[in-house]
Amino acid sequence: MKKWVSIIILAVLVFSLAACSGQNDKKTGKEKKEAKTQEVFKIGAIPDQNAADLSKGMTAVAKYLSEKTGMKVEFVPSVDYAALVTAFQRGEIHMAWFGGLTSVQARALVPDADSFAQRPRDSQFHSVFITQPSSGINKLEDLKGKSFTFGSESSTSGHLMPRYYLMQAGIDANKDFDGKPNFSGSHDTTYKLVESGAFKAGALNEAVWQTAVKDHKVDPNKVKVFYTTPSFYDYNWTLNSNVNDVFGKGADKKVKDAVLSITTQQKEITDFFQTDKFVETKNSNYAKIEKVAKALKMIQ
């Protein structure tokens, strides 16, 4: 009897599988037709900070864009930098808030993509190096033999440029630290790890650092800045090359205009980006980042 039960278990498993996948096909077929009439404009952002804040800020951008352009706009969160670049390459993300390095990576994969807008501060961006006040670290050279954490592997201000300026100071990040450098994954995690003492020092995005200090998210008695890098170009909005094909001619201009006309009236957005407006930028601004990334073999 038990034999029969088990045979039936397996048979039903198999049949129900076939049956329900059939049903799905029909159902999704219908849905697909509806979707064709209104494609969703998908925006993304590199997950370089607190996920809840990021989602709140980017959802505000999506809402603003859909009011301004009449398109259906949606924020798609991603778990890591590379995943966002890959989705952008596949045309599944139509506009993304990239860091300098990720925008260069993305444009290497989608040659006609356009880095079109940035915050005023992004043309003069800095990274800060932080440590505990008692660590005895006062300049980059002191970092030799100390434990160190970067942000994400793909971050410009959390990895690429700090590594570059370390190299300029004669420190090879792969060899000269105490152990291999850590990759914390996000700027917020970096200062928290240094604050807790998990790492002696770290490097992160200056803007995130300033917000953390302003909002008392970090204890200034436990962490101090000991070095600020020279300026470089960083974050920008990059528009995918497939926008006009999917949303019709002129869609790219509509979106660009909408982004560039964000003012402090869109308080939720400007607060999140810590800016009062977005200004135009161009692909060639990121040539230096591309050069450094090539030298460090982060892009081919």
List interacting residues with another protein (CB under 8 A): 1-3, 5-10, 12-14, 16-17, 20-21, 23-25, 28-29, 31-32, 47, 50-52, 78-83, 85-87, 89-92, 105, 108-109, 147, 153-154, 178-183, 185-186, 188-189, 192-193, 196-200, 297-300
Nearer to another protein, 133 or 197 (CB): 197
Nearer to another protein, 174 or 265 (CB): 174
State the minimum distance, in angstroms, from the CB of residue 279 to another protein. 29
Nearer to another protein, 124 or 196 (CB): 196
- Tokens linked to 95: 């506009």
State the minimum distance, in angstroms, from the CB of residue 38 to another protein. 14
State the minimum distance, in angstroms, from the CB of residue 25 to another protein. 7
Nearer to another protein, 86 or 283 (CB): 86
Nearer to another protein, 152 or 229 (CB): 152
Sheet hosting strand 95-98, strand order edge to edge:
72-75, 40-45, 95-98, 236-239, 114-118, 279-280
State the minimum distance, in angstroms, from the CB of residue 237 to another protein. 21
State the minimum distance, in angstroms, from the CB of residue 68 to another protein. 26
State the minimum distance, in angstroms, from the CB of residue 140 to another protein. 20
Nearer to another protein, 131 or 275 (CB): 131
